[in-house]
Structure 1
């Protein structure tokens, strides 16, 4: 029995020792401060780490967080100067600088900051109209910071920053603002469209102008080149016609035509007189032989055309011409002899005295001259 009592006493003593040790050792986290009270009165502050206190006499009543804290308050309705209600959300960034003052100077510093913020927001926004409220966030933040710094300094709290999270105007005001913004955007879109069309028209006009200038220059150069080509073609055509006339004239001089040849040419032209569309009737006289004889006698007696052509034949100087291929010289000589023989035969047939034929092969006669008729 006595041993049981001793065992119970030993257990109780052990529990007392363990409880005493537990209450005498306190550990404070990093960035926190512990406030120690002795018999209900503030004794001191404990920093981060383990500490020994007097058990059952000293007590760590509060552990204050010394870090910067963020508190977001719910939206509150505020009346602006132009009697429009808006809902404003605020965010407070603060830090406890004096844990003793934050604990013993005010009961709940977070609630105190909330109420102070609501009062300050109503005061600041009440002196601003809706437009200034929506665009004056910096002004509201600066006013709140000044009010909180002045009021929370004695509470051991430092308001680092105050931010307006959102400003919500009434639904009708939001609809009107949306319509206004839509109208402004439509106006800017129309302005930009008009400017784009103007720039497009300007660029198009400049392009048309450059195109017209280039087309005009191209047309001018084309006309110049065409005129030059026409001029050169006309010159070449005139030169060709001149050479052709000279060739015909030279051939006439070389052939020495007389009245018989002219009469023969006239007889060749008579069928062509009847080829016209206006010639409906062609009368051939019965005395066609006598008419032809009379025509020959008439042609023989034309004034200015000699019956016989005397004197040497001389070629007209036509200037430089293209050289004749040597292979064609013999053929040209035969052709000239045949022409001379035909002209001589026609002359003898038309002349009443019948001039003696000329032997073109006689070596005593110069090919460039023809002896007079006998």
Structure 2
């Protein structure tokens, strides 16, 4: 073997090594997959599902396994959609909705549904119509939170086979046609007028109640005054009775004489005071009173 042959063999061996090294590098490049935190990779082998790769470093068999789908697991928002619906009291409303979701099982999403956004949008539209059809217009306006909760639960059940989680569903607006708006405005004005009348009636009733309370209070005070006066008169009578009891007949005669004297004084002060006619017993009354007065002293 001459030098030329040795050189040729050496060059041939170097090429082989170079090819072998290149093959190893290619296998490593094809066999190692680094998956980002926000994604999952769907791996196929000969057209069949082989595995789902999670975030981090993953290994596959080069030339046999292929990463067919790279699925983002971030939360997504469907474009705002508007659909018509009819309430149970036959009112046409236009509902604007928005749905947020994220993919939990990429293998189901990839192999069971083609256009996931369109499928979810269609599902939401049907569920919104069905749920609003069970409610009256007033309930749709006042129970929006309950309606959103029911729509979200129904959508979750419908998309469960697609490996999707519905994170949030929102009803952005409920629009009415012009005729319905005019009717609601008339109803609102009538309700305001009714409330004003009720308020005025309640005010009048309250005024009557206050007047009645005032009259009752005045009557109670008058009754208390009469009761006090009666108690005073009863007390005076008791004092006289006690005096009669203690002093006998003389005290009673003294009181009667005083009353007669007072009556004569009033007569003398009248318009006919120039001439006074006195009964015969008056002098005796004066005498008795004077005698009793001296005896009392």
The verdict on a shared fold, with TM-score over 0.5 as the criterion, is yes
Q: CA deviation at 1:35?
A: 0.8
Deviations 1:17-49 (A, max 9, x none): 888755543333447432124576543211232
Q: Alpha-carbon deviation of 1:189?
A: 4.1
- 1:88 Cα offset (Å): 0.5
Q: Secondary structure at the match of 1:107?
A: coil
2:153 paired with 1:149: no
Query: Could you tell me how far 1:215 is from its partner in structure 2?
Result: 2.6
Q: 1:48-197 to 2 correspondence within 5 Å?
A: 48-54=55-61, 58-66=65-73, 71=78, 73-79=80-86, 84-92=91-99, 94-122=101-129, 125=132, 130=137, 134=141, 138=146, 142=150, 145-146=153-154, 149-150=157-158, 152-157=159-164, 159=166, 164-197=171-204
Q: For the residues of structure 1 that align with 2:188 and 2:98, how far apart are their CA atoms?
A: 28
- Superposition TM-score, scaled by structure 2 size: 0.56
1:15 CA displacement: 9.9
Q: Corresponding residue for 1:28?
A: 35
Higher RCO structure (Cα 8 Å, ≥6 apart): 2
Distance, in Å, in 2 between the alignment partners of 1:133 and 1:57 is 56
2:217 is the counterpart of 1:210? yes
Aligned residues: CA RMSD: 4.9
Q: How many aligned positions are there?
A: 236
* Contact 2:42 2:53 survives alignment (8 Å): yes
Q: What displacement does 1:102 show? A: 0.4
Deviation at residue 180 of structure 1 after TM alignment: 1.3
Structure 1 gap ranges (5+): 1-8, 243-275, 277-315, 323-374
Q: Distance in 2 between matches of 1:203 and 1:32?
A: 76
* 1:113 partner SS: helix
In proportion to residue count, which structure has more helix?
Answer: 2
